[in-house]
Amino acid sequence: MLKVELTLRNFHEQDAATRYCYLLADGTQSPTLRLNPGDLLILTLKNELTNEPAAPEPNAAAPEPNAAAPEPKVAARQPLDPCRSGLMAPTSTNLHFHGLSVPPVCHQDEVLKTSIQPGDPPFEYRVRIPANQPPGLYWYHPHIHGFSNAQVLGGASGALIVEGLERVNPQTAGLPERVLVIRDQDLLNPAAPPSKFEPVVPKMLIDRDGDSANNGTGFGKPAKDLSVNYVAVPYPDYPPSGLRMKPGERELWRVLNASSVTYLNLAVLFDRAAQQLGIVAIDGVPLNENGDPKNAVVWRDHVGMPPGSRAEFILSAPAAGATGLLVTRTVDTGQGGENDPNRALLALIPAADAPHANSALPDRASLPARLKPPALAALPWLGNVPPVRVRKLYFSEKLQDPADPNSATTFYLTVDGQTPAPFDPGSDAANIVVKQGEVEDWIIENRSTELHAFHIHQLHFLVMDASGTPVDEPFLKDTVNVPYYNATMLQYPSVRLRMDFRGPNTVGTFAYHCHLLEHEDGGMMGRIRVLPANASSD
Ligand SMILES: [Cu+2]
């Protein structure tokens, strides 16, 4: 059992930015939670958020939430039932355990109705990690519709590790481990020109979200700054902090892209040469989860990570005298997307006296060297189960004033055949109803000119094909990028996902959405109801 008492606080900066952080009583910020399969997590969350102080001018760049959020009534406030109120206000909060197959019910992993207000007593989460939860990196963050972006962008997120990777993948046994949480935030130096060391100076464009638009060069002002374990690496010069490593030592890096909108394309450079990264797990699931030993370690010189995703990989520290750099390379997010340019994240500094346990980024431990056998998978491999039906969903966007390219955008995630509508937090109607035990194929199409990241709560899926071409990725994900459309294409890009509703913990009502949180808050979300296997089907 792991007992944790978290307090969520915010701090209003003078530049109108608001920072958010989970705190333990001893001041630890957004702790990494470590649990074994079968463990019980008892987490109490105290909401100490405060409203924005009165500002002389409203921040014109702040995205308008799609649904008009009622302000909490100050006078004679009746205590609201945190399990039922569904109040979506700037100071409301709750928790989502991203990637865990735990039930979508209140006090566990329910986010559509659960809402905790400032002044409420500490709210208790009791989450049993399933015995068959794959070992790897998961995370927790708030999920209040309309305000997820502000809270996560401000820093409200933390890592959660399900222990036991070495049981599934013996090549990771005994490796020193680092947890890197990469977050994005509003630019610290928004008025600065690009660094004079950049080879091109692209024209500045603003996209529909009010962020720096993709200019296609790999340079220029990013939409957001990035930070590594809360250490910002700001535009325009991206000064990386230093990570001291024992020369040549192999380590396991567990990387979370906790960004609100920023895509990552990670590479590790030694004297400018991209190094091989031994990927062992994606989205918390070992690549050899299906028992195929050839997928135990997949070597690549870069790792693409949409917002919300995780990658765990083996790498070797630079040799003595060499220099290393963790970078994210530019991601082409589409004509309508944000600018995600090339930038440094972390300098890797070989040092014989580098501490093992208490480095500049303190979150480091070692995996056990002693092997215990993994729990046997109880169900047939998802890729071998034929789907009972196929559905198509599509991402789309609409300018509220089609004549004005700078007008606000509405974001849709629509089940094909239904009328596009932004997510309605006040409704109980499910867009999709399935029965526990079923397996479906979902084709997720992108009809917009920017990338979207499809995510569903409670379960993992398998990517079967991309725009009709089979994909050989025999491992599970909970977040997947969907390529953007442009007018020269003959069809909308898509991915085909094998959706697994076999787990008993999928029963209930939960969300699927785009994990670019500006889009989710703007309406790009839907509701699915999974009925018990024995429910009558009328
Ligand atoms: Cu999106």
Expressed in angstroms and rounded, the spacing between residue 339 Cα and the centre of ligand 1 is: 14
3-state secondary structure 213-228: ECCCCCCCCCCCEEEE
For the chain, the 3-state helix, strand and coil shares in percent, each to the nearest 5, are 5, 40, 55
| Residue 246 near residue 316, CB atoms below 8 Å | no
- pLDDT higher than 80, residue 329: yes
Report which DSSP code applies to 355.
Answer: -
Give the neighbor-by-neighbor strand order of the sheet with 452-456: 432-435, 525-531, 508-514, 452-456, 479-482
Does pLDDT of 89 surpass 70? yes
CA of 514 to the centre of ligand 1 (A): 5
CA of 197 relative to ligand 1 center, distance in Å: 32
CA of 307 to the centre of ligand 1 (A): 10
Strand partners, 494: 445
Q: What is the dihedral of CA 173, 37, 31, 268, to 10 degrees?
A: 40
User: Residue 419 and residue 180: Cα distance in Å, rounded?
Assistant: 41
Q: Residue 44 is which amino acid?
A: T
Ligand 1 center from residue 415 Cα (angstroms):
15
Residue 451 CA to ligand 1 center (angstroms) comes to 6
Distance 283 CA to ligand 1 centre (A): 18
Single-letter code of the amino acid located at 349: I
Checking if the pLDDT of 358 tops 60, the result is no
Separation of alpha carbons 90 and 72, rounded Å: 9
Q: Quote the pLDDT of residue 406.
A: 73
Whether the predicted pLDDT of 362 surpasses 80: no
Average pLDDT score over residue span 168-196: 93
**Would you place residue 211 in the very low, low, confident or very high pLDDT band (cuts 50, 70, 90)?**
confident
The candidate with the shortest Cα–Cα distance to 379, out of 513, 498, 298, 293, is 498
What per-residue confidence (pLDDT) applies to 373? 58
167 CA to centre of ligand 1 in angstroms = 36
Ligand 1 centroid – CA 24 distance (Å): 32
Model confidence at 368, pLDDT cuts 50, 70, 90, reads confident
Distance 436 CA to ligand 1 centre (A): 28
Burial class (CB in 10 A: 0-12, 13-18, 19+), 241: middle
**What spacing in Å lies between the alpha carbon of 482 and ligand 1's midpoint?**
9
Whole-number Å distance, alpha carbon 522 to ligand 1 midpoint, is: 9
Distance 217 CA to ligand 1 centre (A): 22
Compute, in angstroms, the gap from residue 31 CA to the centroid of ligand 1: 28
**Encoded tokens for 335:** 């004509």
| Strand residue runs (E) in 400-460 | 409-415, 432-435, 439-446, 452-456
Separation of 218 CA from ligand 1 center, angstroms?
Answer: 20
Q: Which residues pair with 123 in a beta bridge?
A: 45
Q: Any idea how long the chain is?
A: 538
- CA 395 – ligand 1 centroid, Å: 7
CA 77 to ligand 1 centroid distance, Å: 36
Whole-number Å distance, alpha carbon 6 to ligand 1 midpoint, is 30
At residue 278, the pLDDT reads: 97
CA of 8 to the centre of ligand 1 (A): 26
Cα 427 to Cα 529: distance, rounded to the nearest angstrom: 13
How sure is the predictor about 14, in pLDDT bands with cuts at 50, 70 and 90? confident
Q: What is the mean pLDDT of the chain?
A: 90
Is 63 or 401 the better-scoring residue by pLDDT?
A: 401
Distance 139 CA to ligand 1 centre (A): 20
More confident call, 55 vs 268? 268
How far CA 327 is from CA of 265, 342, 443, in Å, comes to 8, 7, 32
User: What are the C-alpha distances in Å from 11 to residues 53, 57, 72, 74?
Assistant: 10, 18, 20, 21
Q: How far is the CA of 246 from the centre of ligand 1 (A)?
A: 40
At 216, the pLDDT band (50, 70, 90 cuts) reads: confident
- The model's pLDDT over 238-278, given as tens digits with 9 standing for 90+, comes to 999 999 999 999 999 999 999 999 999 999 999 999 999 99
For residue 394, pLDDT beyond 90: yes
What pLDDT shows up at residue 200?
Answer: 77
Question: Tokens 């329910």 — which residue?
Answer: 110
Question: What would the mean pLDDT of 349-362 be, rounded to a whole number?
Answer: 65
pLDDT at 343 over 80: yes
Ligand 1 centroid to Cα of residue 107, in Å, is 28
Residue 412 CA to ligand 1 center (angstroms) comes to 9
User: Ligand 1 mean position to 397 CA, how many Å?
Assistant: 9
Asked if 311 contacts 279 with a C-beta cutoff of 8 angstroms, the reply is yes
Token readout for 196 is 């004079």
Residue of higher predicted confidence among 407 and 517: 517
Distance 467 CA to ligand 1 centre (A): 18
Residue 234 has pLDDT above 90, yes or no: yes
Whether the pLDDT of residue 69 is over 60: the answer is no
* pLDDT tens by residue, 115-157: 999 999 999 999 999 999 999 999 999 999 999 999 999 999 9
Cβ neighbours of residue 365 under 8 Å, at least 6 residues apart? Answer: 176, 177, 357
Q: How many CB atoms lie within 10 A of CB 169?
A: 26
CB 391 within 8 A of CB 443: yes
Predicted pLDDT at 504: 95
Query: How far from each other are the two terminal CA atoms of the chain, in whole angstroms?
Result: 42
Average pLDDT over residues 299-312: 97
Q: What pTM does this model have?
A: 0.92
Ligand 1 centroid distance, CA of 261 (Å): 8
Lowest mean per-residue pLDDT among 215-219, 394-398, 486-490, 526-530? 215-219
Identify the three-state secondary structure at position 383.
helix
Give which of 83, 86, 85, 89 is closest to 107, Cα–Cα. 83
- Give residue 79's pLDDT: 79
Mean pLDDT for 79-85 is 91
Whether residue 359 has pLDDT greater than 80: no
Distances in Å between the alpha carbon of 136 and those of 133, 256, 449, 451, 456?
9, 11, 33, 26, 18
